[in-house]
Amino acid sequence: MVELAEVTRKSRAWACYDCGKCTATCPIARVGGSYSPRRHILSSNTGDPREVLELETLFACLSCSLCEQRCPAQVIYTDIVLAHREIAHDEGIEPDCPHGGTLQSIMRLMATGGMEQNRMEWLDKGVQTEPEKGEIFYWTGCAVYYDALFPDYGARPIEGVKAAVNIFNKLDVTPVVSPLERCCGHDLLWNGDVGNFEKLARHNVKLVEESGAEMLVTSCAECLHIWKKEYQRFFAGQPPEILHISEYLVERMPDLELKDNGGLKVTYQDPCRLGRHLEIYDPPREVVTAVPGVELVEMQHTKASSACCAGGTWSNCDIFAKKIQVDRLREARATGAEIMVTACPKCQIHFSCAMKDPNLKEEIEIEMRDVAELVADAIA
């Protein structure tokens, strides 16, 4: 059971000035929602779990961490969110999940085990991978499931995964791509289901340990966050080096023979988990600008001030999320860029969903590609 007194101490909730800067900063509040991080902090400070459970906006937070960036008291608000949701889950309270709760059900099925997955059909013929052992483990995440669940959105997150594997091969690397990989559990953890998250963590860590990999690379910002921040305690020994695909590529771009893209103008979307949560801002930009003929034009809000895709943990699909997405897409279009590059499959899915609005389509539509796709498309 979560002890609110301990949460208050570790998160610095006790230091809250009650200044309201977090609420003024919150993307939800800024588009007309009633969400107030300060209200949640005050409820935590009482030490009474009943006050937490009575909060109507318990699952509304996007966990984008923008409020943490601007909090003068340095309150770690995302730790409070995690604790509150764990309390709620223990009491049988869960968010209303979009898409019929399909994604949560798949995650819990994977946590339970005893299921056979067909994770490998996406691999193109001729691509070289290892199923079990190797020096580099490429973590695909749930992109294979997203690709099957959201075909109507026009988002193809699996293309970024394919691009990454093709790039490894061009660099004479045969990565481990395991048919036994399961969801990292990110969304279960952020919705309070710690028990099933830990089952997934133990399975996945054992899989990577047994592979003998010295490095794990992933294209998903959320998977990266879980591996770097949450999985470390599950390793029996020294964890492998854990990198986002953009971090891996930065040092290897000179080894790729790339053709000139002929004046392609792109803008870049900072995923919250990669940016504010892990402070990885420059590697994706360095990779993009290393592609010949590509010009990077920044949006109005970038890096630590970047706007969230409002996807959260598959629990924030509402009118306010839509407004946040539309505003961000307008920013992207205002740059004059032809493509919005991102480094997380969920960004692609949520923005693609917003672009389906027939009343706004012409105003906000923009092509999206994963950062690895941009590189793979330029390989001569």
| Topology of domain 4-90, CATH | Fumarate Reductase Iron-sulfur Protein; Chain B, domain 2 (1.10.1060)
Is residue 28 within 8 Å of 322, Cβ to Cβ? no
Q: Rounded to whole angstroms, how far apart are CA atoms 179 and 162?
A: 15
At residue 322, does pLDDT exceed 90?
yes
Is residue 344 within 8 Å of 220, Cβ to Cβ? yes
Give residue 145's pLDDT: 87
Give residue 66's pLDDT: 95
| Mean pLDDT, range 35-61, rounded to an integer | 90
Q: Rounded to whole angstroms, how far apart are CA atoms 224 and 137?
A: 13
The per-residue pLDDT for range 207-250, each reduced to its tens digit, is 999 999 999 999 999 999 999 999 999 999 999 999 999 999 99
Could you please report the per-residue DSSP string of 186-198? HHHHHTT-HHHHH
The DSSP bridge pattern shows strands 136-139 and 215-218 to be parallel
Q: Rounded to whole angstroms, how far apart are CA atoms 357 and 343?
A: 24
Cβ neighbours of 108 (radius 10 Å): 18
Pick among 2.60.120, 1.25.40, 3.40.50, 1.10.357: CATH of 258-373: 3.40.50
Give residue 113's pLDDT: 85
Model confidence at 378, in pLDDT bands (50, 70, 90)? very high
Q: Rounded to whole angstroms, how far apart are CA atoms 142 and 122?
A: 12
Tokens of 359: 């009343």
Q: Rounded to whole angstroms, how far apart are CA atoms 141 and 296?
A: 27
Q: Rounded to whole angstroms, how far apart are CA atoms 122 and 138?
A: 14
Only one residue has tokens 């591996």, namely: 227
Coil, helix or strand for 177? coil
- R_g of the chain computed on alpha carbons: 20
Give residue 252's pLDDT: 95
At residue 73, does pLDDT exceed 70?
yes
At residue 364, does pLDDT exceed 80?
yes
At residue 90, does pLDDT exceed 90?
yes
At residue 94, does pLDDT exceed 90?
no
Give residue 1's pLDDT: 67
Give residue 98's pLDDT: 77
Chain-centre distance for alpha carbon 179: 22
Only one residue has tokens 């770690």, namely: 76
The per-residue pLDDT for range 153-192, each reduced to its tens digit, is 888 899 999 999 999 999 999 999 999 999 999 999 999 9
The DSSP bridge pattern shows strands 367-370 and 264-269 to be unpaired
Give residue 275's pLDDT: 97
**CB contact burial 30-43 (16+ within 10 A = b; e otherwise):** bbebebbbbbbbeb
At residue 135, does pLDDT exceed 90?
yes
Spatial CA neighbour of 321 closest among 68, 65, 54, 32: 32
The per-residue pLDDT for range 259-270, each reduced to its tens digit, is 997 889 999 999
Is residue 306 within 8 Å of 337, Cβ to Cβ? no
Only one residue has tokens 């949520």, namely: 350
Q: Rounded to whole angstroms, how far apart are CA atoms 340 and 68?
A: 26
Cα–Cα distances in angstroms (integers) from residue 269 to residues 13, 305, 318, 356, in the given order: 30, 11, 21, 19
DSSP-derived letter for residue 226 is: I
Q: Of the given ranges (73-82, 103-112, 216-225), which has the lowest mean pLDDT?
A: 103-112
Residues contacting 140, CB < 8 A, separation 6+: 119, 161, 177, 181, 218, 219
User: Which residues of the chain form CATH 3.40.50?
Assistant: 258-373
At residue 37, does pLDDT exceed 70?
yes
* pTM across the whole model: 0.95
Coil, helix or strand for 261? coil
Cα–Cα distances in angstroms (integers) from residue 321 to residues 218, 239, 252, 258, in the given order: 26, 36, 37, 38
Model confidence at 100, in pLDDT bands (50, 70, 90)? confident
Give residue 97's pLDDT: 78
Spatial CA neighbour of 288 closest among 257, 311, 265, 319: 265
At residue 312, does pLDDT exceed 80?
no
Burial of 170 (0-12, 13-18, 19+ CB in 10 A): middle
Give residue 151's pLDDT: 84
